[in-house]
Amino acid sequence: PGSAGPPLPGIDAQIVDTDGDEVEPGRAGYLTVNKPWPGMLRTLYDNDERYISEYWAEYSDTDSDDPDDWVYFPEDGAKVDDDDYITVLGRVDDVINVSGHRLGTMEIESAIVGVEGV
């Protein structure tokens, strides 16, 4: 309900399509953040490769040393209005976050199907 507001000063957030092209206001797409900033999540504990593949590889040139070539993809669907207010529409993956634990819906469904009478 409602928007998250415009990006904070210095944050370059965009809504893009599957090809990474910016979509027009009012159209749904994928939230991305260009040009990482200090204090942003820097890695996943003991798993740098997963960190890059999970959050950066979708729209980035991961071979580049130029921060301008790196685009963060938090896996959220969103849209932006004419005033640059961003509305987050929800997750684009099939993972549910419960108390900080990421649970795959496929695993949950498999467990439920395995219970007789459910």
On whether the CB atoms of residues 6 and 83 are closer than 8 A, the answer is yes
Find the length of the chain. 118
Calpha distance 23→43 (Å, rounded): 29
pLDDT at 19: 92
pTM score: 0.72
Nearest to 15 by CA among 80, 64, 60: 80
pLDDT at 31: 94
pLDDT by 10s per residue, the chain, length 118: 578 899 988 889 999 999 999 999 999 999 999 877 777 777 888 888 888 888 888 898 889 988 788 899 988 889 999 999 999 988 787 777 788 777 777 677 777 877 888 7
In DSSP notation, 24-53 reads PTT--EEEEEES--TTS----TT-HHHHHH
Domains located in the chain, CATH noted: 12-91 (2.30.38.10)
